[in-house]
Structure 1
Amino acid sequence: MNPNTSAASAASAAQDSTVFRVLARIGYVVLGILHLLIGAIAISIATGGGGGDADQGGAMQQIQKSPAGVVMLWVIVLGLFALAIWQVAEAVIERDPDTKKKWGHRVKFVGTAFAYLAIAGTALTYALGGQSQSSQSSQSLSARLLAVPAGVVLLVLLGLIVAAIGIAFIVRGVTRAFKKHLDLPSGATRSGIVTFGVVGYIAKGIAVAVAGVLFVIAALTHDPETAGGLDSALRALAGLPFGTIILWTVGAGLVIYGLFCFARARYARM
């Protein structure tokens, strides 16, 4: 049997599975919960309440401390793993007649799958009783890159890629491109979901883009501690003029993105 045909058949079988589809939708619910927590922590930082790390690690730590936290963490692992596999399946069965667009879509699907797997890995660490700080991981990665030949170039490239991902989120929100992946209802519900999507995508894009800029700054200043991931990006916003207002707004936007993820779990085309 042709390997490509076999892979496509396996991908189609996975997407035809009701159980797998439900697990993937749970993955969107999980993303919603995480963004609600990250947004709430960011708002807490903006209002001077501290709140911990405003990133996936900080959100996982909050869940770990909650009643039935370990169970919730395992649900997060399963949901995000299923969602990652779903993205891989989408990449395999992508059928856009335009070759460039087809491979562009495939790269996006696979990249998204890796992002979901990375978050699932963080959840697994916490589910097993450990801890993982995203900021330290980012700083460690930056330090390792700066220690190798052409490390500055590599770190700048990484920062530009992360910043580009953030810009892509902003563009997706402004253009409402996310709508084509949803089977939206009519009326006020539709308008509300679209508004949440626009605000949420823009807020998340700003946070991710700033994280990318911090990687570039870390490379140019040879200071790996500058690159601290999402938490450092949000705290950097607080240091800007009117930073408290900006951080509060972005935090609120991340909360709204979390609510959008709940709607996405219900209305995503699967």
Structure 2
Amino acid sequence: MTDAAHAAQKVERSDALDHVARAGLVAYGVVHLLIAFIAGRLALGDRSGSADSTGALKELAAQPFGSVLVWAVAVGLLMLVLWRVVELVGGDGALDRVKSAGRAVVYAVLSYSAIRVALSGGGGGGGGNTEETMTARLLALPVGRWIVAAVGVGILVFAVVLVWRGISRKHAKELATEGRTGSAGRAYVALGAVGHVAKGVAFGVVGGLVVHAGLTHDADSSGGLDQALLEVLQQPFGPVLLLAVAVGIGCFAAFCFARARHLSR
């Protein structure tokens, strides 16, 4: 074992990292709670706001002391990045390292979005749909359509994993023992199950849109979470389905808060 890995394992077992992880999970939960709120509002007919992480952060920035709150979320998400980096360096298995690296990237992207929103005072970060712009750039490459389709498949795999974690209740391992016993513990696990499935469904639609964009060479048909939820809204019984997804994502937020309280690393 290298000195860096040994030092990382010492940090990983420290109480200080527990506090870092708990603060980060609260920030992560806040982002999902805001997405759930905007998605629910969208289901009820209010199309103001974007039901993705950036839109959620802009919604937060528009509140009293919003900039301070967004900065707090950004710092919390950076703490999640730190937590996963420590796991990455100190991890024993290759699979665990890959998982930690992937999660660190996700949290870093969210933190970057929060910092941009905070610096802009909650205003727009430029025109155009970011996902469509990125897709268009990839499609311009010689094998771009296949790259885009592969990214879409990757998102679909991620969605399936989320649904599987919810159905199999693997997420229960992320709660300390005292958080898994009794009626409260069962409620926490149930919230996580519903939340993981709902989030998986939402990202499944995102992945499908990206795959379709690659196969049809049409960047306009791609999109992020906001576009995916609008796609759900356009289906038969769309408002009801979208409201169910919004409630599910809210459950995921509640699970994040429960996990912050009963953290098992």
Q: Give the aligned residue type for 1:163.
A: L
Alpha-carbon shift at residue 132 of structure 1 (Å): 3.7
Residues 57 and 134 in structure 1, CA contact (< 8 A), matched pair in contact too: no
Q: Which runs of 5+ in 2 are unaligned?
A: none
Determine the structure 2 residue equivalent to 1:194.
189
Give the match for residue 155 of structure 1. 148
Aligned residue in 2 for 1:99:
none
Of the three residues 54, 65, 68, the one matched with 1:68 is: 65
Higher alpha-carbon deviation: 243-252 or 181-190: 181-190
Deviates further, 258-267 or 85-94:
85-94
Q: Using the TM superposition, give the Cα deviation of residue 141 of structure 1 relative to its aligned residue in structure 2, in angstroms.
A: 0.9
Contact 2:164–2:197 under 8 Å retained in 1: yes
Give the distance between the partners of 2:73 and 2:64, measured in 1 at CA: 15
| Aligned partner of 2:176 among 179, 183, 190 | 183
1:76-95 alignment, distance < 5 Å = 76-95=73-92
* TM-score of the aligned structures, taking structure 2 as reference length: 0.93
- 1:250 Cα offset (Å): 0.4
Equivalent residue number for residue 103 of structure 2: 112
Match of 2:7 among 7, 10, 18: 10
1:51 aligned to which of 36, 48, 54: 48
- Contact kept? 1:27, 1:83, Cα under 8 Å: yes
Would the aligned equivalents of 1:166 and 1:205 in 2 still touch at CA under 8 Å?
A: yes
SS where residue 66 of structure 1 aligns? Answer: coil
Q: 2:22 aligns with which of 25, 30, 46?
A: 25
Matched, 1:249 2:244: yes
| Aligned equivalents of 1:51, 1:163: Cα separation in 2 | 28
Query: CA separation in 1, counterparts of 2:127 and 2:147?
Result: 20
Deviations, residues 17-55 of structure 1 (Å, cap 9, x unaligned): 434431221111111111111011111111111131000
| Structure 2 residue aligned with 1:221 | 216
What is the CA–CA distance in structure 1 between the aligned matches of 2:12 and 2:112, rounded to whole Å?
23
Letter aligned with residue 232 of structure 2:
L
Runs of at least 4 residues off by over 4 Å: none
What is the aligned length?
Answer: 261
RMSD of aligned residue pairs (Cα, Å)? 1.7
SS of 2:194 mapped into structure 1: helix
Residues 1:204 and 2:199 are matched in the alignment = yes
The CA deviation at 1:8 is: 1.0
Contact kept, 8 Å, 1:134 with 1:228, in 2: the verdict is no
Q: Distance in 1 between matches of 2:136 and 2:68?
A: 35
Q: Match for 2:255: what amino acid?
A: F
Helix, strand or coil: the match of 2:176? coil
1:235 to 230, 235, 240: 230
Deviation at 1:135, TM superposition (A): 7.8
Percent of counterpart pairs with the same letter? 36
Partner of residue 123, structure 1: 114
Q: For the residues of structure 2 that align with 1:134 and 1:17, how far apart are their CA atoms?
A: 44
Q: Which has the higher mean CA deviation after the structures are superposed, 123-132 or 59-68?
A: 123-132
Between 196-205 and 65-74, report the one with greater CA deviation: 65-74
C-alpha distance in structure 2 between counterparts of 1:212 and 1:73, whole Å: 28
Any conservation in 2 of the 1:171–1:202 contact (CA below 8 Å)? Answer: yes
| Partner Cα distance (2:177, 2:130) in 1 | 38
The Cα of 1:158 is off from its aligned counterpart by 0.3
SS in 2 for 1:143: helix
> What is the one-letter code of the residue matched to 1:120?
S
